[in-house]
Chain A
Amino acid sequence: MKSFLQRLPLLGLLIGTTLMLTSCAPKRDRVLHIYIWSDYLADGLVEEFAAANDCEVVIDYYDSNEVLYAKIKGGATGYDLVFPSSYFVRMMAEEGLLQRLNHNNIPNIKNIDPLFVGRVSIDKKMVHSIPYMTGATGIAYRKDEVEDFEPSWRVFERTDLAGRMTLLDDPREVLGAALMVLGHSLNTTNENHIEAAADLVIEWKQNIAQFASEANKAGIASKEFYVVQAWGGDIQQIINENGDENLVFALPEEGFPMWEDTMAIPTGADNVELAEKFINFLHDPVIAARNIEFNSYLCPNWAAYNHLSEETLENPIVIIPKELLGRGKQIQDVREHLAKYTAAWDRVKSAN
């Protein structure tokens, strides 16, 4: 008991010091509040920006668009710059949560690949959002185990690879691949197209080991699987870790789903000027190149390609060739029609 009493003053001291420290914390007028996915900015970038603009940068992280949306929609103010995926931008803009961007204050916008914005982006005029990073869903395969590989989703029809292949466990990705094979849009709302795609996937299902969005990574690394439908970023991680030369990533010729993360300024932003400067900074060719190398994703910034290493330029996961880029399509929110996809997916999952 005595020891507890003896420690009381110590506790008081601790609390006192804490309070003092917080009240004396250095305060700067110019603070940029960023809300971003974790590990998404190359090391040192933020410090350089802060030094160049004599401001403080405070960063918070989220792990899904839903979290970002909940936070902004819930009335959290004070974030100056957010990084929503493009399909969330439309919804957020419609609800008045995002500001219109003033392109005059973001001169580096001229570096952004017009082909990407024109063909792939959803916000094609960059009214509310500017592209930050993009990547594709494709097919990863083992060069040492698969003969005569053709870059096509039809690889899942090959019976000689039966039991050695996986598809993602994601209705829009898998039905999207089948829709593209059939020559339809992967955002179609036509029930017949979706059902035909489901029939095709059921055919593929005979040859695959399982639907897997996580187990496909370890599986292809350990040669349990030879062909997997996968997100490029995941395959890049395995290659970085294992240095596996037989693991190859290919983009199917029928087309492939792409994702896009963007930069946008919320309506209640305190410091629009700094947010615009930061967007401009991230599209500076040298900075964008550093971000590409760091993330192994593509920042669709033409001028940046001159500053990339040979290795990155030759990496098909990062650099999507011009002739293929136009075949990338984004999975978009189909709203009430999603039920059709869900029903088709249920049929796929329960089929034998």
Chain B
Amino acid sequence: MLVLGFFYLPIAMLFAQSFNAAKFGGQWTGFSLRWYDELWRREDIHQAAWNTLLIATISTTASVVLGVLAAWCIHRFRTRAQRIHYGLVYAPLVVPDILMGLSLLFLFINIGLSLSLTTIIIAHTTFCMSYVALVMLGRLQDFDESMIEAARDLGANWPTIIRRILLPLLGPGLAAGALLAFTLSIDDFVITFLVSGPGNTTLPVQIFSMMRRSSPQVINALSVIFMTVTFILVILSQRLTRPQS
């Protein structure tokens, strides 16, 4: 209970404060939606939100494709090379963000790729891919391959197998991986900060840069909306990873 309190009390406070009419938190001077109204009128924030969604959508798509391929290879071919492959896929999960961001930044500068939305998308795909691959591996381990053999015995061709067996059984894992990747992408600050170029501010970077000079209440309102979206996605992804009864 105490631990949960530590987790959720600050969030609850933030939530309440975002509806506080006072300009500087602390005292409650009445319920108000003025911060949400102000948020609505800030075009720079809209641009940042748009960037965030764009990056998340593209890098999720790319990382799902790459992650599923990686998981399939690791699962299917249990060779020495694939064990190394597994290690390589696993590594980005444990490498600290700041190191990953810095190494990507050096890479981009050395190969002469100027920092832009593209570099952020490449960076996000890199770390999201690993998460997708691991979620998919978990799914694949529960997957009974004899079903494919059975289907082929009964005369099903590959498109049918994919549509009737693979997608229904692996679909939830796929969706969970995708949602996880999406959430990680919209939440990421450290790596994005390092590899973003001019004009590519994302929401987390925007929130961070508004801390000192902006009204804290606008940030509260923005954080509440941001958090709500993340929570919904996480809940969705949990639903989909739940073992089928």
Contact = CB atoms under 8 A, between A and B. Distances in A.
Interface of A: 1, 4-5, 14-15, 18-19, 22, 33, 35, 37-40, 58-64, 67, 74-79, 217-218, 237-238, 241
Given A38-B214, A58-B198, A22 B171 contact: no
B176 to A, nearest CB: 11
Contact of A78 (B58, B115, B167): B115
Given A4-B175, A18-B54, A241-B24, A63 B197 contact: no
Interface string B119-142: 000000000000000000000000
A74 B105 contact: yes
Nearest to A4: B171
Given A76-B197, A241-B24, A38 B212 contact: yes
B24 A217 contact: yes
B57 A18 contact: yes
Contacts of A1: 168, 171-172
Contacts of B24: 217-218, 237-238, 241
A291 B197 CA distance: 27
A33 B198 CA distance: 6
B167 A5 contact: yes
Interface string B174-211: 01000000000000000001100111110000101111
A63 B211 contact: yes
Sort A-B residue pairs by CB-CB distance and give the 5 closest, nearest first: A61-B209, A33-B198, A58-B199, A78-B198, A75-B109
Contacts of B57: 14-15, 18
Contacts of A35: 198
Interface centre among A33, A64, A76, A217 (most CB of B within 10 A): A76
A215 to B, nearest CB: 10
Contacts of B214: 38-39
A39 B213 contact: yes
B44 interface: yes
A38 B209 contact: yes
Given A15-B61, A38-B209, 13 more contacts: A5-B171, A22-B54, A37-B209, A38-B212, A39-B213, A40-B213, A58-B199, A59-B44, A60-B201, A63-B210, A74-B109, A75-B109, A78-B115
B159 interface: no
B114 interface: yes
A64 B172 contact: no
A227 to B, nearest CB: 20
